[in-house]
Amino acid sequence: MGVIGLGWAGETHLKNYLRLPNVEAVALAGLEEPRLRELGQRYGVPNLHRDYEELVARDDLDAISICAPNHLHAPAAIAALKSGKHVLCEKPLARTGAEAEEIVRAAREAGRVVHVAFTQRERGDVQVLKSHILDGNLGRIYHVKATWMRRNGIPGMGSWFTNKEMAGGGPLIDLGVHIIDMALYLMDEPEIESVSCATYAELGTQGRGGRGDAKTIVGDTYEVEDLATAFIRLSGGATLNLEAGWAAYRESSDDFGLTLYGTEGGAEMRVRNYGTQDTVRIFTDVSGVPAVVIPEIEPREGHLVVVRRFVETVRSGEWEGQVGEEGLRRARVVDACYTSALEHHEVFLDGHTGSR
């Protein structure tokens, strides 16, 4: 394995690979030299590179993890696929639908695997919800609300995160892509018909709402939204309401959640500060009386699940169709949301029109 990126994501991938049997971390790449040496030593990685291109060019890697800023996801993934490597890419797969499409095409042409680290859907509570849905306890889900909101949660003020070119956007592409993923996964991948989105940049632009984490500064302007809201129409008449914010005047916590309304039942998931206990409530009728089920949740480590599945898929040799299409679908939704916000109108996705 080779890992690109030395931030939280890069270290988490590296750590989890090393928990698996017969996986060797051969190379690591990143720009912060002291941190590169420190991680190399801590995890016993023999080959350290400054730039991702050097790592990707190595011929002793089967696969790489991309944990670099979003603008590097497509170039790193495509270069790796072209040289025959499998790719585990952090979310979002890319900054735009077009970039994500290029990655998927490169994976198909190379006959290699692309997985995207949608780690939050692997949480124990999301998995419990999924099994209730698969058992039919909610019936047909017709409306979902998905939110991820922080008070002062802008990551790396002035870093790549707040640079439009490098990040592709703000909380919508960063946090929104996780809640879009969870919602579409739970709803069994409905088609997206249209999106209507608005974005705001009220606090970040005034230098407020930062999380205070130290990251390399690339500029002093705040170029992305700090809050996004969207209304998304799905196939079969279902709808999804989205709210993703890094900064807003609200409770001082980092909270995400889902509300699902189905024909036979409903559910709420409320996660406060990444907590894992007592997060889900399922609402049904038992003998004609409203009842609330509070399932016990077994915590699961999202990154471990994702990394293990990636390694198992690569080892299995069954690579067909594992080309990152879910990542592409999410990238298209995010992309359409930004277009809608910019142009102030509803945007219809491939082949869909407003008429019924």
Q: Which residues bind ligand NAD (CB under 6 A)?
A: 4-10, 29-32, 51-52, 67-70, 72, 90-91, 117, 119, 174, 215
Q: Looking at beta carbons only, is 169 or 266 nearer to ligand NAD?
A: 169
Q: Looking at beta carbons only, is 48 or 187 nearer to ligand NAD?
A: 48
Residue 5: Cβ within 10 Å count: 24
Could you tell me whether strands 266-272 and 280-286 are parallel, antiparallel, or unpaired per DSSP bridges? antiparallel
Token reading at 264: 């036979």
Q: Looking at beta carbons only, is 181 or 193 nearer to ligand NAD?
A: 181
Could you tell me whether strands 289-293 and 280-286 are parallel, antiparallel, or unpaired per DSSP bridges? antiparallel
Residue least distant from ligand NAD (Cβ): 7
DSSP strands (E only) in 16-118: 27-29, 47-49, 63-66, 86-90, 114-117
Q: How far is the CB of 324 from ligand NAD (least distance, A)?
A: 14
Q: How far is the CB of 48 from ligand NAD (least distance, A)?
A: 11
Asked whether the beta carbons of 258 and 125 are under 8 A apart, the reply is no
Asked whether the beta carbons of 218 and 159 are under 8 A apart, the reply is yes
Q: Looking at beta carbons only, is 3 or 347 nearer to ligand NAD?
A: 3
Distance CA 151, CA 210 (A): 9
Q: How far is the CB of 107 from ligand NAD (least distance, A)?
A: 18
Residues pairing with 267 in the sheet: 260, 282
Token reading at 55: 């790592």
Q: How far is the CB of 282 from ligand NAD (least distance, A)?
A: 25
Q: Looking at beta carbons only, is 209 or 265 nearer to ligand NAD?
A: 209
- Three-state secondary-structure class, residue 64: strand
Q: How far is the CB of 311 from ligand NAD (least distance, A)?
A: 17
Q: How far is the CB of 174 from ligand NAD (least distance, A)?
A: 6
Q: How far is the CB of 30 from ligand NAD (least distance, A)?
A: 4
Q: Looking at beta carbons only, is 51 or 318 nearer to ligand NAD?
A: 51
Token reading at 21: 């049997």
Q: How far is the CB of 140 from ligand NAD (least distance, A)?
A: 30
Asked whether the beta carbons of 235 and 189 are under 8 A apart, the reply is no
Q: Looking at beta carbons only, is 67 or 138 nearer to ligand NAD?
A: 67
| Contacts of residue 208, Cβ cutoff 8 Å, sequence gap at least 6 | 152, 247
Question: Smallest Cα–Cα separation from 113: which of 329, 310, 328?
Answer: 310
Q: Looking at beta carbons only, is 70 or 284 nearer to ligand NAD?
A: 70
Distance CA 269, CA 339 (A): 29
